[in-house]
Amino acid sequence: MRQGHGRPAIYGNHPTGMNGPRKVHIKSFGCQMNVYDSHRMADTLAPEGFAETAAPEDADLVILNTCHIREKAAEKVYSELGRIRVLKQAAAREGRRVVIAVAGCVAQAEGEEIIRRAPAVDLVVGPQSYHRLPALLARVARGEAVVDTEFPVEDKFDVLAPPSRAATRARGVSAFVTVQEGCDKFCTFCVVPYTRGAEVSRPVAQVVAEVARLADAGVREVTLIGQNVNAYHGDGPDGRPWTLGRLLERIAEVPGIARLRYTTSHPCDMEASLIAAHRELPSLMPYLHLPVQSGSDRVLAAMNRRHTRADYLDTIARMQAARPDIAFSSDFIVGFPGEREQDFDTTLALVDEIGYASAFSFKYSPRPGTPAAEMAEQVPDALKSERLYRLQAAIDRNQAAFNARCLGHSFDVLFEKPGRHPGQLVGRSPYLQPVQVMAAPSMIGEIATVTITEISANSLFGTLLAPRARAQTAMLAEIGG
């Protein structure tokens, strides 16, 4: 049972005198945790009478769930706020009040400054306060401009409302579950330790209960998420901290969950039980996002990544030994302060050495308050752009080679939704590649073995081989590269 606030009259004085259902539009920027948090905000507002709408112009409440990781991401919020303000003014002319809330990491980092810069904003709410949304909105309804960026002592996960079965179903067969939040690593470029705070892990029982609820509503694939997910150390039922490897083992036992993934990992925390989980759990997908950021030891040290290029390669080798068909993705930053041409060349070489199946790459963006923003030898933007272009070409080349190696192979595909053309479904390969297959709509949520017959720039095409029950999983070692 949810406690505390009843049902605050958030907009009780509707000028038409009608108290129809209210609508909330939530827009997520940035990482998967924001997607997860947006769902939890919607779930928490549903019992307050808010239905979700995809159309901001229909909404009584607009929430922007923001990202602060790079300057561009943060600035997007202000241009979006400009557009929402126009909607708010138009609604006001019709006598309808629209409330604007800014949530997420920009809210946490900038707090009151947001209302100073964008006075149309009514509420600024940091990621640790989402469970207080109903109470905060009640204060807004009383005419207050509210800023809540506290790191409260209570566990928000104890209070946040769980999703209804209908909401879970509408969100599809693959779901995220936050198991860990925050980061203690303090990479010198990164705002996360400041915006999301210190590492906190959810207890095992709480995570298992959430996964069981999702499975019960039809979810087949769960991705455990956290800013530093493999530093997980939540309390186990035995009263001791459990590792992520142990948690995965436990979740693999939840009936109905056929696929497990986790993200994002730090190379230093790929400990033995996690590697063992890759060897022992068939449902743990052979695809790992393991950001390296740079291939140069000089740059890695300046980034405070706490490992060398050789350490990273060693971790990759241990993962490959545990799961020969594993493939990797990564994040890279180009133009970190002091990065010279030779450093960048070692990054390019690492991309080819590992043969990533996919990777994200970014120009270094100085973030206020982080040590790297104050470092000497900042790299000019034109040089960053040039390096990014070359790095992306290397990544694309490796991705194309990886996809080409899939041609003619068979692997399990989890069907998610209708595909591009009539009669087609689109599903995900173990390596998260979208696969288009002619298959009946009733197969959504099913896993079937598919033979890859054709590849294009962003998709694979395949034919149904046999239902999973009759087919051996045929993921071949050479695909992992």
Residues that bind ligand 5AD (CB under 6 A): 69-70, 189-190, 291, 293, 331, 333, 362, 364-365, 367
Question: How many of the chain's residues bind ligand SF4 (CB under 6 A)?
Answer: 10
Binding of residue 265 to ligand SF4 (CB under 6 A): no
Q: Where are the beta strands (DSSP E) in 142-285?
A: 146-148, 174-178, 180-181, 200-201, 221-225, 259-263
**Least distance in Å: CB of 272 to ligand 5AD?**
24
Q: Which does residue 183 touch among ligand SF4, ligand 5AD, none (CB within 5 to 8 A, set by kind)?
A: ligand SF4
Q: Which does residue 362 touch among ligand 5AD, ligand SF4, none (CB within 5 to 8 A, set by kind)?
A: ligand 5AD
Asked whether 268 and 240 are in contact (CB, 8 A), the reply is no
**Least distance in Å: CB of 215 to ligand 5AD?**
29
What's the token pair of residue 222?
């769960």
Amino acid at 360: F
Which residues make Cβ contacts (< 8 Å) with residue 237, sequence separation at least 6? 204, 205
Q: Which does residue 70 touch among ligand 5AD, ligand SF4, none (CB within 5 to 8 A, set by kind)?
A: ligand 5AD
Please give the Cα distance from 73 to 66 (Å, whole number): 8
Asked whether 224 and 261 are in contact (CB, 8 A), the reply is yes
Please give the Cα distance from 327 to 323 (Å, whole number): 9
Binding to ligand SF4 in span 270-299, by CB under 6 A: none
Please give the Cα distance from 28 to 132 (Å, whole number): 19
Binding of residue 227 to ligand SF4 (CB under 6 A): yes
Binding of residue 70 to ligand SF4 (CB under 6 A): no
**Least distance in Å: CB of 403 to ligand 5AD?**
23
**Phi, psi at 39, each rounded to 5°:** -60, -45
**Three-class secondary structure of residue 21 per DSSP:** coil
Binding of residue 187 to ligand SF4 (CB under 6 A): yes
Nearest to 31 by CA among 233, 133, 181: 181
Binding of residue 192 to ligand SF4 (CB under 6 A): yes
**Least distance in Å: CB of 266 to ligand SF4?**
5
Q: Positive or negative, the Cα torsion across 270, 271, 274, 280?
A: positive
**Least distance in Å: CB of 304 to ligand SF4?**
8
Asked whether 277 and 229 are in contact (CB, 8 A), the reply is no
Answer left, alpha or beta for residue 284, where phi above 0 means left and psi between -120 and 50 means alpha. beta
Binding of residue 190 to ligand SF4 (CB under 6 A): yes
Q: Which does residue 69 touch among ligand SF4, ligand 5AD, none (CB within 5 to 8 A, set by kind)?
A: ligand 5AD
Binding to ligand SF4 in span 112-171, by CB under 6 A: none
Q: Which does residue 204 touch among ligand 5AD, ligand SF4, none (CB within 5 to 8 A, set by kind)?
A: none
Amino acid at 216: D
Asked whether 412 and 447 are in contact (CB, 8 A), the reply is yes
**Three-class secondary structure of residue 103 per DSSP:** strand
Asked whether 173 and 414 are in contact (CB, 8 A), the reply is yes
**Least distance in Å: CB of 268 to ligand SF4?**
9
Q: Which does residue 367 touch among ligand 5AD, ligand SF4, none (CB within 5 to 8 A, set by kind)?
A: ligand 5AD
**Least distance in Å: CB of 347 to ligand 5AD?**
12
Interface stretch with ligand SF4, choices 56-64, 75-83, 184-192, 442-450 (CB under 6 A):
184-192
Binding of residue 228 to ligand SF4 (CB under 6 A): yes
Binding of residue 197 to ligand SF4 (CB under 6 A): no
Strand partners, 424: 438
Residues that bind ligand SF4 (CB under 6 A): 183, 185-187, 190, 192-193, 227-228, 266
